[in-house]
Structure 1
Amino acid sequence: MEGVRHSVPVVDEALPKREDATTHSKEAPLDILLLEKDPLVRDQCLIGYQSFPDISVELSQGFQGLNLARQRNFDFIVIGCNPKDQEGLELLEALREFDKQTPVILVTTPKLAKKMQPQRSRLGLLSILQVPIDPKEFFRVLSRMRRKLASA
């Protein structure tokens, strides 16, 4: 899956109206790098981003995706982390070696999320989303990201 780029269109009649979804048109477009192996989690994130027509998502996996982060600036990076496979944590550590600025959202299990909380600021994590992803929390994190980028 080599750097697949998705501009996620919005289909108004299929989506519920949300307060945070209605303010997106006034804000700058977002460019997101999504590094997630699990197709269910990846698709859940993509569906969530469909509420915002100004979001562009680049899909990739592993260190191949990390090379994209070396080549381009992204507004934020979403990294999936499976506790059975430490690649997500390795990606995060490798990212922080060359990029300490780009905000990162980690998507992982509740057990690993709890374990990662003390390291959150050291790793520059904006948020940790737990799987299965709660839609309210997903949109809350996305709104927080938009506010953070707007104030920068």
Structure 2
Amino acid sequence: MIELTINGTKQKFDVDPEMPLLWALRDIAKLTGSKYGCGKGLCGACTVHIDGQAVRSCIMPISAVVDKQVTTIEGLSEQGDHPVQQAWQDLNVPQCGYCQPGQIMSASALLAQNAAPTDEDINNAMSGNICRCGTYPRIRAAIHKAAKLAREVK
């Protein structure tokens, strides 16, 4: 039995310790916000936070996150009012939307580490997240707006 803390709640999983975290989240915990994209950790659709760091859950074995805090898009904020989520809505970032949970999780991890990122900081932090629709300019603008919103709240 593997016990994880997901979005602040302890949950038990009776699974193979090598099961990818993504499948435990989606299939067992029924947290379907994180998406399957490539299965190789290359596209970023499955991004979650492990102890505040953006990681690819499709290649992370469930056994590697025992005693760590896992945060999914569903746990980023209860009301969807995290500054990144607000900026995404304000600037109408999503087109098809499939990659957006991973984009938001990577962006929020960036802003937790860097309250005023430059375009270069954003490009570096977001380089592992692929958007097939090409919304990169809106994503960058939304990250800048989220940084501003977060500074205004403080």
TM range (shorter): under 0.3
* Structure-1-length-normalised TM-score: 0.27
| Greater per-residue strand proportion | 1
* Structure-2-length-normalised TM-score: 0.27
